[in-house]
Amino acid sequence: MDAITGDGMELSVGFMLMGFAGGLALFLHGMDGVTTGLKGLAGTSLSQLLGRLSGNRFSGVATGMLVTATIQSSSVTMVLVIGFLSAGLFTLVQSIGVIIGANVGTTITAQIIAFDIVSYSFGMIAVGVLAQFLGRREQIRQGGTALAGLGILFLGMGVMQGAMSPLREFEPFLALMATDRGPVPGVLIGAGFTALVQSSSATIGIVIVMASQGLVPLETGIAIALGASIGTTVTAMLATIGRPAIALRAGLVHVIFNVIGVGVMLLLIPILADLATAISPTAEHLTGQDRLAEETPRQIANAYTLAKVGMLLGFIGFTRQLAALVERLVPPRRSEVGLEPKYLDEAVLEAPAVAISLARKELMRMGRRALAQVERSMPTVLTGTAAELTQLADDDDEIDDLHNAILAYLRRIDDDPLSEAEGKELVNLMEVTSHLELIGDIVQNDLVRVGLHRIEEGVPISEETLEVVTDFHATMVSLLRTALTAFDQQDRELAQSVLDAKPEVNELLHRAAAVRASRLTADAPARVAAYSRGTEAIEHLRRVYTFAKRIARAVPGTD
């Protein structure tokens, strides 16, 4: 291995780099385990918490802090925010509070890392792995994943500490670190490394590890930690590539908050250092490098927390202005109506509750299109031209495209953390999507064919037949609309009313049959063909009611 010397001391660079890289890998793997386990433990409660968020900016901040502190990842919080924005569940102004809160919530990670509990890492790993393999309940297994991840995280810190400990006595390195170059280089280092490893926690962890060896002065450590905040904006902006404009606006909020906030805090680093020193534990029984190694890690963590809280206080009064700014930078676009799905966001596939919510939103969009197609069908089938019938059939292509997109999206939802209730809802969404697609096929393949045969045969539709078929059609449209509303709102009573309408539908069928039979004896042209076309139209509309009932049965609690 290559070695360098200084003041009579030889330093093995290769072994030191291998130890540092291995420790960093353990740290990142542990952090991933903590996030995965805590996210699984939280289940749908995180989404429910965000979904119930009010317009109060302070509750938004508290929510962002709580969610990020719970799952130890501001990136996951950003994904949830973007998902709910895309679903239209809250406004950009409300999301800004959550984004700001998420940035403060990341300071919990720094506080945890600052504790010197490396010696307990093996015990944490052992207990966590046992819980993963022996736990009978999902919550115990997820808790085990989080605990084992935390143990691996601290083990990685211990490996990095051991790898870098020779630097404590390597004079050239100590002289290099002692040189005062101002805070900007530290910020650039923190931003660059965070952008590279995609984790501000990793950057802050390394800074604290180096501080625990007495290798990083306090003000330099604060600058690097602040730079990590800017580095996270790269991750956020990468996540918005190819996403809707609302996602880009949320990413810009994250960028503006951190760039401006860190810029201000850079000027206040000496004040932050003094405050952190005043509120942090001291080690007066130690001297020199040993004292720095004991005191600096907690001071950096506290200074980072103070800086983030200061940034929050600076922005909290300007959420509406910030929303106006990003909307000016990325103007809202008129919602596109076409073949492309509007709400399906692939970035949230690993957050099942959010992904399912978006799929339901897209499904209701598909339902509205299917309902509109059924509404248009009967006037067109009975009296429309061939061109109008062709257009009616072509419109089903959009329903088919949405059907394929929704099913493909639902199949890609991460099923590992799915709860039993989420699993049932996933199945219901798949079934209702298929029911709507089949309703569209009834219009495209069956009702349109009835209309084309009417034109080919030159069949005149009598006023009596037109009236009875139109009445039956209106009832089917009403029941389908009620079924969709019931499914959207999960309204059991509305859904039950669709199922209970069967006697009414049968009565309408009998009345329609009687009217059509009376037309067979009437002195009218092409009366047999007219009877056949009317019968076919009624039968195909009756099948729409069959699928409306199936949609209604997807609402929990229906018979």
Any domain includes 6: no
Q: Are residues 296 and 353 in the same domain?
A: no
Reported as a single tens digit per residue, the pLDDT across 327-352 is 888 875 544 344 578 888 877 787 78
Q: Are residues 323 and 447 in the same domain?
A: no
pLDDT of residue 240: 67
The low-confidence residues of the chain, meaning pLDDT below 50, are: 6-9, 44, 54, 334-338, 522-524, 526
Any domain includes 233: yes
Q: Are residues 324 and 352 in the same domain?
A: no
Contact 66, 105 (CB under 8 A): yes
Any domain includes 168: yes
Q: Are residues 284 and 217 in the same domain?
A: yes
pLDDT of residue 450: 83
Q: Measure the CA–CA gap between 301 and 276, rounded to whole angstroms.
A: 8
Alpha-carbon dihedral sign for residues 297, 299, 305, 311 = negative
Q: Are residues 315 and 386 in the same domain?
A: no
Any domain includes 301: yes
Q: Are residues 406 and 446 in the same domain?
A: yes
Any domain includes 500: yes
Q: Measure the CA–CA gap between 487 and 428, rounded to whole angstroms.
A: 10
Q: Domain tally for the chain?
A: 2
Helices of type H across 87-199? 92-105, 107-113, 121-134, 138-164, 171-178, 183-197
Q: Are residues 206 and 129 in the same domain?
A: yes
Any domain includes 287: yes
pLDDT of residue 547: 92
pLDDT of residue 27: 73
Q: Are residues 366 and 515 in the same domain?
A: yes
Which of 198, 101, 203 lies closest to 160, judged by CA? Answer: 203
Q: Measure the CA–CA gap between 388 and 454, rounded to whole angstroms.
A: 13
Reported as a single tens digit per residue, the pLDDT across 287-314 is 766 777 778 888 888 998 899 999 999 9
Single out the residue in 295, 329, 363 at which a domain terminates: 329
Distance of CA 456 to the CA centre of its chain: 52
pLDDT of residue 54: 46
Any domain includes 83: yes
Close Cβ partners of 6 (under 8 Å, ≥ 6 residues apart) = 170, 171, 172, 173
- Reduced to 3 states (helix: H, G, I; strand: E, B; else coil), residue 466 is helix
CATH number at residue 494: 1.20.58.220
Q: Are residues 59 and 121 in the same domain?
A: yes
Bridge-partner residues for 323, per DSSP? none
Q: Are residues 174 and 269 in the same domain?
A: yes
Residue 460 zone, left/alpha/beta (φ > 0; ψ -120 to 50; rest): beta
Q: Are residues 282 and 351 in the same domain?
A: no
Q: Which domain holds residue 399?
A: 346-553
Q: Are residues 291 and 389 in the same domain?
A: no
Any domain includes 338: no
Single out the residue in 304, 329, 354 at which a domain terminates: 329
Single out the residue in 282, 301, 329 at which a domain terminates: 329
